[in-house]
Structure 1
């Protein structure tokens, strides 16, 4: 009998592209924390269909789990972002996936991290034709930044401008997108460039997931999706500081960091616009966990740059922290660490190694004993 932990990626749904590994830091630290608790788990980082429908992604997750599962194994699912929704669906009652009932009794726990259980307003923006192109560029810039430590400054300036109405119009005309896209790709060798282009082409062909992640659509999904009674369910909530000039000044005069912060400011604004009629109100136990972490319950507008904080609240809140959407995967500013940690965006969250290890300690504890 083996204890198997499956790591399910989210919106930027790649596991390994060249030297980029989505779960590299996460897998290492989680394995250590589980070993500290006396559990020698087999941790499986998975890939997914990045922007395919939730049902297609859940089927893909089932196929991955079934390929590794042997009778008597324990299964634990840990999902980041939309990967948490995949895990939640796979462990839910009434899901129609042929063969799923064989593994369902073995699923012991589901842990979601920064997952949009009540949807995210960013989905509507990225569902548009322009938004799809910006998402493609944002994904590529994320990979390049974490891989190389930076991208050309003009790329960030153009990307930041694309979120503004006037910048978006110029972005869509004159082949600017193609020029910037090629400028980022040229830093990769031929094999990695082909892998990236194939990945993003596949994601671009199927955008079914994006409208499904709207707060309006997820309101229905959340209402009708219930985990099987034997599955222990928990969530981790991340919230980055609200953008401000005073916080931006603390970044100093580095143009690269300032440009990153401009992109974060735009993303934070997009994620703060959940319609009032769809606001989520945590229960008493969830509120206590949030107050313990943040000093108060997050506002409906608070978010991690991608997902509203209160949309991430689901079942038992085992951990909450100041962090942005990729900090919680170990992609935070830590140039002096070994292995090196590289931030995808400068958000002023001050999330570091201590916070990362505390988060994964909570995840390991939930896996081991709930």
Structure 2
């Protein structure tokens, strides 16, 4: 059988780019491989100018070996943040260089932004009438500059089909893993996450700004309760069960959980059960009733409602779509 050509990801390096964010696509997509070890993506970095150095926000430049013509070959374009967006940030208008570069894009190219890279997508018109996010500190300015965009500053990332946006830095990793998961399934994404030593899944709806992301010394956390819950997802879990794992009152546990995780215990538990169901739908032949019980939903109908809400497709359709993608 003829080999499948890897999906081509082109990363646009702009002056003032953040080296960390610029490297995220190569680290995540560049590590994704199928069961036979074949790479699933080809990652290329380009500039809006002919090949040469591009300034970063650090004390060094990066040598970019591809000019804007690489955009014409892209299946997916990723625009990381930049601190030198000029008229894009000030007036919401593309520079002549960016206008010429984007004119090279093929119809149907998937567009992705990391952090304030969303300004570029918005100035190009890709976000008109669409939901989008950016770094929480820039959200108010972003909304004033682009009133036609439906800005949500509370979430880590937004998947709107062929246009995806994310919040700052680490959310770019979350979005990249989400895209790998969407393209090739949970097993591939989890393998990339393990190699990168990052959490395999943070739901896009999780809060950007968490009051207490790192507990203070000698302050009780909810980590043990979360670990216990993941081992008992197949069982009915009540809020008092989770609180009991940390010897806290339900009220204290609920407050502490939201401070640390950014969502309520119930929301987090539903997310974990959807993720468990997704893994089982991809990797097993279990019936819908069996998957529902193993993931803790109890009934196939309950699972269908949760999966449909979270993923936009019913469990049977998700399994069918994943297997079709895997066979290709």
TM-score normalised by L of structure 2? 0.30
Indicate the structure (1 or 2) with the bigger Cα radius of gyration: 2
Query: What is the TM-score with the length of structure 1 in the denominator?
Result: 0.27
